[in-house]
Chain A
Amino acid sequence: MTLSVLICDDSALARKQVKKSFPENWNVDVRLASNGLEAINMMREKIADVLFLDLTMPELDGISVLELLKLKKLANYVIVISADIQPEMQKRVTELGALAFIQKPVNSEKLSQILEEYGLL
C-alpha cells in the first residue's frame, strides 16, 4: 500500500526541501499544506498517514497543531521539522506526541534513519 504523507510548512522552499530529502525509492503520495489550519482540516479527513510539521507559522502554529491532533487523536506519525531547535522546544514537541524532531534545513540521512526506525520505509 502506498503511504500518504502531508508536508505542512508556510514556506514553499521549505516544503520542497522536505520533499527533496525523502529517500529516493520511498513510494509515497505527497500532499502539501501551507499553514496549520489547512493541515488540521486535511488530517481530519484522514488523508495522510505521516505528517511533517513546521513549528513557526502564521495562522495556527505547529505547537497548536500538535495540541489539536493529540486532543482529537488524529495522527500517529508526526515528525516535526523546525528552525526553532531550543531544547525547551524539543521537549514540548515530544510531550505533545511528535515522534521526532529534525532541525532545518532537513538532512536526508537523518530523515531516512528516523523513517527506518519507525518502520515507515
Chain B
Amino acid sequence: MHSLVVESLNTGVILVDADYNLVYFNHFMQSHPALKSPDILGKNLFSVFPELPKSWMTRKLQSVVMLDSPAFSSWEQRQYLFKMQHTRPITTSNEFMAQNISMLPIKSDKTKNEVDHICITVEDATDVCFYQEKLKLTLAELERSNRTDGLTQIANRRYWEERFNTAFLSAVRYNEELSLILFDLDKFKIINDKFGHQAGDKVLIESAALIQSMLRQHDVFGRYGGEEFAILLPNTGLRGAYELAERIRVAFENQIVEYKSFNIAATLSLGVVSYHSGIRNYDDMLTRADMALYESKRSGRNKTTVYQAS
C-alpha cells in the first residue's frame, strides 16, 4: 500500500545507498530520459545523471549521512538538478522543470543508528518559478514607470528630486563636488499655440533625447515641470557644469524639429549652480538655480547664467 502511494506521488522520489548507487525511483522520475534504459538500478547516481553538479552535491549528500540531517536545494539558487521536462510546456516558458529538492537521511536497519540510504525528492516548482520571475519583471517595470516621465522617458520630478536629495547629502558628507543645471524652453507657449500641442510634445521628446545623448552615465536628467528640465551633475564643479550648459544651449539652438510641414526651432534659458559651503540645504540649491535661470530669461533668453554668491 505504501509503495503504491509513493508510485503515484506528484513528486519525484529516488533512493540511493551510502555509495550513491540507485536503489529505487518512482513513476514520476521515469519521465527523465536517463531512467528509460534497462538495468539502471545499482548504477551510480552521478553516472546516471551526468548533469548533476558532482562535487557540490557529493558534499551535500555527505552532510546528510554524517549529520543525520536533511539537505535542500531550491530552484531560487539552482533552477534544477535533474534535467527534466515539466508539465506546463504550453503556459510557461522554462526549458527545464524548476525543482525544489530535499535529500533525506534514511536508516533502514532499525537496530543500527546509522544513515545507510538517502531519499531524494524532486518537487516540480515550474509554476512558482515562472510566476515569481514574471512578478519580478512586473515589479521592475513598475519601478521603472514609477520614476519615468511618460512623455519624454527621462526621470520624472519625484524620482529626480529623490536622486538629488541623495546626491546632495553625499556631497555634504564627503565634501564632493555637485552641480545643477535648471533650464526652460523659451516661449514654449507660442510653439504650442502656433503649431498645436502635438507639435509641442514632439519638441519636448526630441529635445529630451538630444540632451540625454550629451550626458554622462551618472548624470540624472529629469523633467521638472511642463517645459522645465533639470540635470544633476555629481562630481562636477562650476566650470564643468557651465561648459556643459553652454554646449546644450548651442546644440539646442541648432536643432530643428520637423513636425508635418513645419520646421520648428527653439532656444533654451539655463541656470547653473554648484554646491558650496554657503548652501545649507537641498531647497537652497534649487532656489539658487531658479534665480540663475530667471536671470537668463530676464536678460534676453537663449542664455546661460551661473549663480554667483553675493
Direct contact of A and B (CB under 8 A): no
Measured CB to CB, the residues of A under 8 A from B are none
